[in-house]
Amino acid sequence: MATAVSRGAWHSVVELPETRRLVKPRTSGITMVIDKGLGLRETLDLMEMAADHIDFLKIAFGSSALYPSKLMREKIALAKEYNIEVYPGGTLFEIAVFQKCTKEFFHRARELGFTYVEVSEGTIDLTPEERKKYITMAREEGFGVLAEIGKKDPTVKIDPARAVDQIFADLAHGAYKVIIEGRDSGQGVGIY
């Protein structure tokens, strides 16, 4: 098992626990960073500072729809240069499902350079068959898939037994990992 070797500012003086992390690509200890609208230069700063610790960059809340196409492509390419998988959050996927344009959504995501997509139902309802269909469709389009279970509505609670069944089904259908909804606050939704 290969480990990362830190050459940080305190190298050889203080040994930090995270210096024993696995090198990329990791299968455990995965770190996903939510990008709420960083510009290209801020993204470069983030990459130079922390890329060794970041596995996924999630362009969240549908914000990738607000970027000029050229800038979005450049930002994604920059993250990929640092071995970081990039995906739009589930909001745009859910809008595409609602508007019945998922095929076009996947094509545009590929055109922009995204490497993963999120199949989620935080604001919509999907049957298990629909989840399977969208996970399969995304995989066929060449994407890695992060599935997400749970609702953004704090009054909707997750049924643990159904959640476990859905997690195993999503993984069996090709999802790389399954995320349990928690919003970025980690309060009042999903498992919280």
Query: What does the pLDDT look like over 64-81, one tens digit per residue?
Result: 888 999 999 999 999 999
Q: What pLDDT score was predicted for residue 182?
A: 66
Q: Is the pLDDT of residue 5 over 80?
A: no
Assess if residue 176 is contained within a domain: yes
State how many domains the chain has: 1
Assess if residue 6 is contained within a domain: no
Q: What pLDDT score was predicted for residue 9?
A: 78
Cα–Cα separations (whole angstroms), residue 46 to 19, 33, 49, 83, 109: 18, 10, 5, 13, 22
R_g of the chain, CA atoms, integer Å = 17
How high is the mean pLDDT of the chain? 88
Q: Is the pLDDT of residue 160 over 90?
A: no
d(CA 167, CA 178): 6
Concatenating the DSSP letter of every residue in 47-93 gives: HHHHGGG-SEEEE-TTGGGGS-HHHHHHHHHHHHHTT-EEEE-HHHH
Q: Is the pLDDT of residue 1 over 50?
A: no
Q: Which residues neighbour 167 within 8 Å (Cβ) at sequence distance 6 or greater?
A: 147, 149, 178
Q: Which residue has the higher pLDDT, 63 or 166?
A: 166
Residue type present at position 187: Q
Report the first-to-last Cα separation within the chain, whole angstroms: 34
User: Stretch 178-189: mean pLDDT, rounded?
Assistant: 68
Instruction: Supply the pTM of this predicted model.
Output: 0.87
Q: What pLDDT score was predicted for residue 191?
A: 56
Q: What pLDDT score was predicted for residue 29?
A: 87
Q: Is the pLDDT of residue 177 over 60?
A: yes
Q: What pLDDT score was predicted for residue 11?
A: 73
Assess if residue 8 is contained within a domain: no
Please report, for the domain that includes residue 118, its CATH number.
3.20.20.70
Assess if residue 54 is contained within a domain: yes
Going by C-alpha positions, the residue among 94, 82, 99, 98 that lies closest to residue 118 is 94
Query: What does the pLDDT look like over 13-33, one tens digit per residue?
Result: 877 666 667 888 888 889 999
Q: Is the pLDDT of residue 2 over 50?
A: no
User: Stretch 111-119: mean pLDDT, rounded?
Assistant: 98
Range of the domain at 101: 21-180
Assess if residue 5 is contained within a domain: no
DSSP state at residue 34: E
Q: What pLDDT score was predicted for residue 127?
A: 95
- The residue assigned the tokens 């545009």 is 108
Q: What pLDDT score was predicted for residue 3?
A: 45
Q: Is 184 left (phi over 0), alpha (psi -120 to 50) or beta?
A: alpha
